[in-house]
Amino acid sequence: MKILVTGGAGFIGSAVVRHIINNTQDSVINLDKLTYAGNLDSIASVADNERYAFVQADICDRAALDKIFAEHQPAAIMHLAAESHVDRSIHGAQDFIATNIVGTFRLLEAARAHWLTLDEANKAAFRFLHVSTDEVYGTLAPDAPAFTEKHAYEPNSPYSASKAASDHLARAWYHTYGLPVLTTNCSNNYGPWHFPEKLIPLMIVNALAGKPLPVYGDGQQVRDWLYVKDHCSAIRRVLEAGRTGETYNVGGWNEKTNLAIVHTICDLLDEMRPRPDGQSYRAQITHVQDRPGHDRRYAIDARKIERELGWRPAETFDSGIRKTVRWYLDNPEWVQGVQSGAYREWVAAQYGHEGGHEGGHEGGHEGADARTGAAS
């Protein structure tokens, strides 16, 4: 099967590309705009594979999309391209509206035009998988049940509102036009190759650089954490066997406070790379002013995907975070590369300086423009 992956140079998108090439016989067309968080180094290991092709394009460019569909004739789409960082959406929502809403609309229309040209067998087999975030559901009280697929949409940031709109478009194109759409809503992703604007990689990178570890407010915001390779296996399973028109929540069954996450990272670094002065990295933690409208708790009920499709995460948080910290220690060149140039310029534009308070960002549904899908 030939799969078009949008946002395949971002964090989750690149993991999806590597997963498909390394674990299946399927082919990938990677469509990515290569904005600040898109990084071709993240897919260098598969770039020369004969089943892989890269196209630099913007999902808002309908003519470019039509050309890609005509040339490559994909049998499925995994749509991860998105602007994803909550803080960035607060500073400026325009790109989020353009990419997440208008871009998704144009991709759905291009996919529908392509789908209508297929013969009946290929039409029936075609799939459009829309990858989204648990943030569309809003916030939960400390003792409230976790989000199920039936939970009402209550987005509280420009980012989550734009993703909610894209979810509604995907649903509408299924119900109105019959396009075979599937939707997934994931919790916070983490793992290797994660751009260091999100909580976990930012804390690792800042800790090693001797910088403050900024935590929003009291640090008691709760998120469910999903190792990125588990997310890849989940959405691949949904693509293969999910029921069209359905939504599947994907979570790691790992609810943790932000402060507990930072403590865990500090403790692992104390073990793996102790500070020269013998102090714990916890000494670098600093609490900063909370961001506007910060949701207190997200939690995913992932029983539907387990019940219907037999999927469960392979990693616990303890095993996944240990692998993640180890990867960042072993790959300083990748970190240095993504922190150069455009990243530093973005930090300076958003926060007025380099490095300090980008922090407290939860991490990771994804990333930027024709990149990947979902944030904190």
Catalytic residues: 134-135, 159
Rounded CA-CA distance 177/179 in Å is 6
- Tell me the pairing of strands 255-257 and 222-227: antiparallel
Would you say 93 and 162 are in contact if contact means Cβ atoms under 8 Å apart?
yes
* DSSP code for 332: H
Rounded CA-CA distance 41/102 in Å is 28
For tokens 């999902």, the residue is: 59
Q: Rounded to a whole number, what is the largest CA-CA distance in the chain?
A: 68
Spatial neighbors of 160 by CB under 8 A, at least 6 apart, are: 86, 133, 135, 136, 138
Where does residue 127 rank: exposed (0-12), middle (13-18), buried (19+ CB within 10 A)? buried
Query: Strand, coil or helix: what is 227?
Result: strand
Query: Terminus-to-terminus CA distance in the chain, angstroms?
Result: 32
Residues in the chain: 376
Q: Which runs of consecutive H residues, i.e. helices, occur in the chain?
A: 11-23, 62-72, 86-91, 94-96, 104-115, 120-125, 158-177, 199-208, 228-241, 258-272, 303-309, 317-330, 332-338, 342-351
* DSSP code for 137: G
Number of H helices, E strands in the chain: 14, 12
